[in-house]
Amino acid sequence: MKENKLKKMKDISTSLAGVKLRNPTILASGILGITTASLIRIANSGAGAITTKSIGPVKREGYVNPVIVEVPCGMLNAVGLACPSLDDSLGGLKDTLRKADVPVIASLYGRTVKEFGEMAEKISEVKPDFLEANISCPNIENEFGKPFGTEPETSARVTEGIKNSTKLPLIVKLTPNVSDIKEIAKAVESAGADAISAINSYGPGMVINIETAIPVLSNKVGGLSGPAIKPIAVRCVYEIHETVEIPIIGIGGIQTGRDAIEMLMAGAAAVGIGTGIMKRDIKIFSEICEEIRNFMNSEGYSKLNELIGKAH
Amino acid sequence: MNAPEMVRILGIRTETPTVKTFILNKKIRAKPGQFAMLWIPEVDEKPFSFSKLDGNLEITVKEVGPFTRKLFSLKKGDLIGFRGPYGDGCFRVKGKRICVAAGGVGLAPLMPLIDEILKGNRDLTVIIGAVTEKELLWMDRLESRKIDLLTATDDGTCGKKGSVCDVLKKLVGKTRFDRIYSCGPELMMKRVADIALKEKIPCQLSLERYMKCGMGICGQCCIDPTGLRVCKDGPVFTAKELRGTEFGRYNRNASGSRCDL
């Protein structure tokens, strides 16, 4: 890009818990985040930050295919927290950090509160820019029990456990599958969370193939993502913004600059993008940034900050 | 919609002792090299390239594991889940003198390409290889067409004793090809790619990786260090795109762990 054009380009940088992002688009966890090569490609394609697929304590193959099925306005997925061994994951993360020119968010999960703390400690040695605690995967209830993120008390205990094991900023990723997300947000903020990601996938939902009368996903159920859950995500972010002071990464159904702006106006400081890649491919990051800039130009906004929480 | 649609198996042909072709009650516009995710309910879902594009789609499969064993037990009239076609990276016909190098059932995705090559006024050499003569795919179909056909078998029962690469290596010393297209076992394709790069002949190859979503969002089949997705950016790549990558060295299993070839 020519230098004079760069100069004219509106600054859409934002910050999360003191870390600056060149733009508010973040690769959400679980999408194109298995390998360093893939994460770096997304960073190079224009994302403001990248999130790894959740790193777990032991190697897991996840569920048998199909693990993904599209539905009108979104998709269901139940990949089942597949991940390589912890050593392999840490090696990959180290490599990603060495090569990335944008902040790297290391998503992690544990099977117990204690294990979340242990995972945080080990991952912190590699020094990612953020930890993100996945306390909200909706697909592993049969194996791991109810997600920690469904109760304020367990959400807080996981948060506290991680904060006692690391000095890195911690993002806690919340589930929308609760009766009052404000309570959960308050609980994790009080327990020391530095930021909140909202929301993880919704449901779970189910798709049954009617010719065979068999659920398509091998796990039978999977989390719903995509435009179908955007209004829920916007409402959750709006409520969380009214409840806590810490910054929010708004995630759920963002496909366009207008979607991103809506999420910012609900109170998000940055937005996560995942399922949108299904429709617009990886150029979605740079395109959404361009669309945000165009909107700001035409509507007379000079800084991204002016959009954040504007709907309140 | 990226969701399986149940299609009927219209017929099954036995091609070799280990290879069968399944004729699907499905007609789509697909390009040579593209593939579909095929679902056997309560078993698994796996990617398969098309071996015929005109009329009813066909897939040609070698029995190699639990999924293909199950597939081989299906009968005419049974239903199978289909989603696709996938793969933005497909075979593109260019040049006058063309060589197709196929190892075993790797000939399957090359068949629609061969059809397209023969539609133009081109010189086509096809090298097919297999462990033994009985496993050579579609000899009769290829022999009846305007093709310079060469064969290689591991046990020497038909054609050159050795591999497709041995035949190709000799051939490129004599004939100046404009393009090489290949599919087969990865280590064989790596040798084909190396020959093409050394001789500066543009070359396209079809890759196989463990896939989950098949549509470029899960990241399971990304190649190191470019991050190109086999399902979306491939499955067909140029030898140049694959130079210096994991191609020919390792791949990843369902957990995302590396497995050496």
A4 pLDDT exceeds 70?
Answer: no
Asked if B2 and A278 come within 8 Å (Cβ–Cβ), the reply is yes
The angle at the Cα of B244, spanning B239 to B249, to the nearest 5 degrees, equals 95
Under CATH, what is the fold of the domain A3-306? TIM Barrel (3.20.20)
Residue A70: its chain B contacts at CB < 8 A?
A: 1-3
Residue B218: its chain A contacts at CB < 8 A?
A: 30-32, 34, 67-68, 79
CA distance A301 to A10: 10
Identify the CATH assignment for B91-204 out of 3.40.50.80, 3.40.50.1100, 3.30.70.2660, 3.40.50.261. Answer: 3.40.50.80
Asked if A61 and B224 come within 8 Å (Cβ–Cβ), the reply is no
Nearest beta carbon to residue B256 from set A34, A41, A211: A34
Burial of A208 (0-12, 13-18, 19+ CB in 10 A): exposed
pLDDT score at A5: 55
Chain B contact for A280 (CB, 8 A cutoff): no
State the pairing for strand pair A14-16/A49-51.
Answer: unpaired
Nearest beta carbon to residue B44 from set A64, A211, A216: A64
CA distance A115 to A155: 14
Asked if B212 and A281 come within 8 Å (Cβ–Cβ), the reply is no
Confidence of residue A140 (pLDDT cuts 50, 70, 90): confident
| Residue with token string 């390239």 | B49
Confidence of residue A15 (pLDDT cuts 50, 70, 90): very high
Nearest alpha carbon to residue B28 among B3, B61, B48, B58? B58
Rounded to a whole number of angstroms, the CA Rg of chain B reads 18
| Phi, then psi, of A45 in degrees rounded to 5 | -85, 0
Burial of B144 (0-12, 13-18, 19+ CB in 10 A): exposed
Asked if B254 and A274 come within 8 Å (Cβ–Cβ), the reply is no
What is the interface pTM, i.e. ipTM, of the complex? Answer: 0.94
Asked if B45 and A65 come within 8 Å (Cβ–Cβ), the reply is yes
Under CATH, what is the fold of the domain B5-86? Elongation Factor Tu (Ef-tu); domain 3 (2.40.30)
Decide: helix, strand or coil at residue B173: helix
Partner B, chain A 23-42, Cβ-Cβ below 8 Å: 30-42
Asked if A31 and B224 come within 8 Å (Cβ–Cβ), the reply is no
Could you tell me which residues of chain B have a Cβ less than 8 Å from any Cβ in chain A? 1-4, 6, 37, 39, 41-42, 44-46, 79, 81, 212-213, 215-220, 222-229, 232, 252-258
Asked if B46 and A65 come within 8 Å (Cβ–Cβ), the reply is yes
Nearest beta carbon to residue B218 from set A42, A61, A68: A68
Confidence of residue A137 (pLDDT cuts 50, 70, 90): confident
Query: What are the sequence ranges of the domains in chain A?
Result: 3-306
pLDDT score at A138: 76
State the pairing for strand pair A170-174/A195-198.
Answer: parallel
Residue A41: its chain B contacts at CB < 8 A?
A: 222, 226-228
What percent of chain B lies above the pLDDT cut of 90?
A: 99
Residue A283: its chain B contacts at CB < 8 A?
A: none
Task: State mean pLDDT over A88-94.
Answer: 97
Residues of chain B falling short of pLDDT 50: none
Residue A40: its chain B contacts at CB < 8 A?
A: 225, 227
Higher pLDDT: A1 or B90? It is: B90
Reduce the secondary structure of chain A to three states and give it as a string.
Answer: CCHHHHHHCCCCCEEECCEEECCCEEECCCCCCCCHHHHHHHHHCCCCEEECCCECCCCECCCCCCCEEEECCEEEECCCCCECCHHHHHHHHHHHHHHCCCCEEEEECCCCHHHHHHHHHHHHCCCCCEEEEECCCCCCHHHHCCCHHHCHHHHHHHHHHHHCCCCCCEEEEECCCCCCHHHHHHHHHHCCCCEEEECCCEEEEECEECCCCEECCCCCEEEEECHHHHHHHHHHHHHHHHHCCCCEEEECCCCCHHHHHHHHHHCCCEEEECCHHHHHHHHHHHHHHHHHHHHHHHHCCCCHHHCCCCCC
Residue B35: its chain A contacts at CB < 8 A?
A: none
Annotation marks residue A137 as catalytic: yes
> Per residue in A37-80, pLDDT tens?
999 999 999 999 999 999 999 999 999 999 999 999 999 999 99
Chain B contact for A53 (CB, 8 A cutoff): yes
Q: What are residue A221's DSSP bridge partners?
A: A206
Task: State mean pLDDT over A137-147.
Answer: 78
Decide: helix, strand or coil at residue B90: coil
The angle at the Cα of B135, spanning B132 to B140, to the nearest 5 degrees, equals 115
pLDDT score at A139: 76
Nearest beta carbon to residue A209 from set B41, B216, B254: B41
Asked if B232 and A75 come within 8 Å (Cβ–Cβ), the reply is no
Q: How many CB pairs under 8 A join A and B?
A: 126
Residue A88: its chain B contacts at CB < 8 A?
A: 256-258
A145 pLDDT exceeds 80?
Answer: no
> Per residue in A201-254, pLDDT tens?
999 999 999 999 999 999 999 999 999 999 999 999 999 999 999 999 999 999
A120 pLDDT exceeds 60?
Answer: yes
Asked if A38 and B219 come within 8 Å (Cβ–Cβ), the reply is yes
A99 pLDDT exceeds 80?
Answer: yes
pLDDT score at B91: 98
Q: What are residue A25's DSSP bridge partners?
A: A271
Of the residues B42, B220, B224, the best mutation for testing chain A's interface (the one with the most A CB atoms within 10 Å of its CB) is B220
**Active-site choice (A73, A83, A137, A236):** A137
Chain B contact for A206 (CB, 8 A cutoff): no
CA distance A245 to A59: 36
Query: What are the sequence ranges of the domains in chain B?
Result: 5-86, 91-204, 207-261
Nearest beta carbon to residue A32 from set B79, B217, B252: B217
Chain B contact for A68 (CB, 8 A cutoff): yes
Running DSSP on this structure, what letter comes out for residue B184? S
Nearest alpha carbon to residue A168 among A108, A217, A211? A108
pLDDT score at A8: 65
Q: Quote the mean pLDDT of chain A.
A: 95
